[in-house]
Amino acid sequence: MAAPCEANGAEWTIGRLLNWTSEFLASHGVDEARLAGEVLLAHAANCRRIDLYARFDRPLDGEQLDRFREWVRRAAAREPIAYLVEEKEFFSLAFRVTPDVLVPRPETELLVECALDHCAKTGLTEPKLLDLGTGSGCIAVSVLTQLAGATAVATDVSPAALDVARFNVDRHGVADRLLLVEADRLALPDGVVPEGGFDMLLSNPPYINPDTMDGLDSTVRDFEPRIALTDGEDGLSFYRSIAADAPRLLAPGGVAMVEVADCQAAAAVEVVEATGRFAHKETRADRVVGQERLLVFSLAPKA
């Protein structure tokens, strides 16, 4: 197969590039290679994905083609597409992402949906949220864009991640309702816990057991930040921290919603319930692979 952009006769139109790239990326084991090709081309051509199809016969200009060629080379080496174009869609919103943050996953949208369902069901119109390990900020920002009365404190231990989150908070216009805080786990600085406590703790913590890191897809293992993937212990230590330290941060009747690793739901329930301060209320499975992915706990009244 001739490499795109080599002067070999036919012009490299968007249509030809898309077909060539889809095949090339698929042959390198890239998931959803056609979609990946579309995302890269749309960013290179500076248009929306659907607009590509109206521009099939148009060529990219020289600079666009150079950028695209470089991205395709890196994508074939399994670099996440989201890091190349510095953007990922989550909950129908565009989030900036860099290698300092985890790439937002579709299954994590479950956490946003569940938080919104909880507010609707309990009549919470002004929920106070704590997003532990916010990364790109995608969870807290998405909830706040849906609920005009919601406010949030979003923490991360990584200042570089907080810079990315800050960009997204500004981009989506929620800066007046969302406070970004550098903190390790639940060691929050004075003055950030709202009076009466948070109504909800939301978290997609680093839950990969370090012993299983080697088995991860290289796109994840070799490119995403290790501290966002694994706790370096047994994958359950963030649930232990929540069980121990979240009760004093939550309002009476407060809830904790957490994402869990494949096949780890039962182990996480055991860990969170171990202190006797939380009761497991609900499990949700992700729609794509059917894995139990989200656990909801409510704060039990003090004995």
Q: Which residues bind ligand GLN (CB under 6 A)?
A: 102, 105, 204-208, 220, 229, 259
Question: Residue 22 or residue 264: which is nearer to ligand GLN going by CB?
Answer: 264
End-to-end Cα, the chain, rounded Å? 70
Q: Under a CB-based contact definition with an 8 Å cutoff, are residues 99 and 224 in contact? A: yes
Question: What are the Cα distances from residue 81, in Å, to 23, 104, 252?
Answer: 16, 12, 42
Q: How far is the CB of 187 from ligand GLN (least distance, A)?
A: 20
Least distance (Å) between residue 245 CB and ligand GLN: 19
CB atoms within 10 A of CB 22: 19
Closer residue to ligand GLN in complex, CB, 198/207: 207
Choose between 71 and 207: whose C-beta lies nearer to ligand GLN.
207
Strand partners, 107: none
Smallest distance, Å, CB 104 to ligand GLN? 10
Q: Output the CA angle 61-63-67, nearest 5 degrees.
A: 115
Q: In whole angstroms, how close is the CB of 160 to ligand GLN at the nearest point? A: 17
Rounded Cα–Cα distance for residues 79 and 25 (Å): 11
> Count of alpha carbons within 13 Å of 112, Cβ hemisphere only?
22
Distance from C-alpha of 298 to C-alpha of 279, rounded to nearest angstrom: 5
Cβ proximity to ligand GLN: between 109 and 259 the closer is 259
CB of 228 to ligand GLN, least distance (A): 6
- Closer residue to ligand GLN in complex, CB, 137/197: 137
